[in-house]
């Protein structure tokens, strides 16, 4: 079985507070996008295993800390999983969760998603959703057809480190960005991500200048996205690719 595992793009991420379990209470708006995506292949095998290929294979664990393998082990499924990694890791695009989500879809075990991580329920479902709780409580969101240019700097953000920095900074708020057809968007993790990855603010400034539009931080970073019209915007993508030091993807919202 071969599955596409789309990246998850948070258009907005408000942190409402810190919970007793240390997690952060969220209200986020997320969409699945067609690029970048991973390709997940699953075959029956004597025991569960994972193999990683593709341009972003480097650094992805193949032991029991791999989320896709954990999904198979939790489901008690003897399958050989191959992950063709095209989603950069530690970029806030939910790559590991996307792979685990694809495995749970293939095994028809969406019920296991919350145990694997806050983003996995969204990745099983796809489309567009409001994410609440620690991210696992989903509600359908109406999002118009839109294109996105995703720019990934040569910087990485560890999610726990960004949440820790948010706590240390005293719970900052992000900028509010207005985009036609969407509610006001704001990512409260942005000031924290800028502290964890010095150079990120400069990257955003270069991206916004090249695109001529505001850029939205993806999740806990380090990727940024610029929202374009429904057919995407090849011209914006080309300008951004020329101007910034990073990898650029032209994607589209993928309704479910």
For 4-41, b/e burial (b = at least 16 CB within 10 A) is ebbbbbbbbbbbeeeeeeeebebbbbbbbbbbbbbbbb
Q: Is 119 in the active site?
A: yes
Q: Is 8 in the active site?
A: yes
Q: Is residue 160 at the binding interface for ligand C5P, with CB under 6 A as the rule?
A: yes
Please, are residues 103 and 68 in contact by the beta-carbon 8 Å criterion?
yes
Task: Provide the mask over 163-192, with x wherever binding to ligand C5P is found by CB under 6 A and - wherever it is not.
Answer: x-----------------------------
Stretch that binds ligand C5P, among 35-43, 47-55, 157-165, 232-240 (CB under 6 A): 157-165
Q: Is residue 221 at the binding interface for ligand C5P, with CB under 6 A as the rule?
A: no
Distance CA 106, CA 99 (A): 11
Catalytic, out of 38, 99, 119, 233: 119
Shortest distance in whole angstroms from residue 91 CB to ligand C5P = 14
Nearest to 14 by CA among 197, 190, 205: 190
Distance CA 183, CA 177 (A): 9
* Closest CB to ligand C5P among residues 14, 82: 14
Distance CA 253, CA 18 (A): 30
Q: Is residue 135 at the binding interface for ligand C5P, with CB under 6 A as the rule?
A: yes
Show which residues are catalytic.
8, 119
Residue ranges binding ligand C5P (CB under 6 A): 23-24, 26, 117-119, 134-135, 159-160, 163
């Amino acid at each position: 079985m071969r599955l596409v595992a789309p990246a998850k793009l948070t258009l907005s991420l408000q942190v409402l507070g810190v919970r007793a379990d240390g997690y952060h209470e969220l209200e986020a708006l997320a969409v699945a996008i067609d690029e970048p995506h991973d390709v997940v292949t699953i075959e029956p095998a004597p025991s569960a295993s994972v193999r990683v290929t593709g341009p972003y294979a480097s650094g992805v664990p193949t032991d029991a800390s791999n989320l896709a393998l954990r999904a198979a082990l939790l489901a008690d499924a003897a399958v050989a999983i191959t992950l063709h990694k095209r989603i950069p890791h530690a970029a806030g695009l939910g790559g590991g969760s996307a792979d685990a989500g694809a495995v749970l879809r293939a095994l028809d075990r969406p019920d296991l998603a919350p145990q694997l991580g806050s983003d996995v329920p969204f990745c099983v479902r796809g489309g567009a959703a409001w994410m609440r709780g620690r991210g696992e409580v989903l509600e359908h969101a109406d999002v118009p057809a839109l294109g996105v240019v995703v720019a990934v700097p040569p910087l990485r953000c560890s999610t726990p480190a960004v949440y820790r920095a948010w706590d240390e900074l005293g719970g900052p708020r992000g900028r509010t960005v207005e985009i036609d057809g969407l509610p006001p968007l704001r990512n409260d993790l942005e000031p924290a991500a800028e502290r964890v990855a010095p150079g990120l603010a400069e990257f955003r400034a270069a991206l916004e200048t090249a695109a001529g539009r505001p850029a939205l931080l993806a999740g806990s970073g380090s990727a940024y996205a610029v929202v374009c019209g429904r057919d995407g915007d090849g011209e914006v993508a080309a300008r951004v690719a020329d101007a910034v030091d990073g990898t650029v993807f032209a994607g589209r919202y993928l309704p479910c």
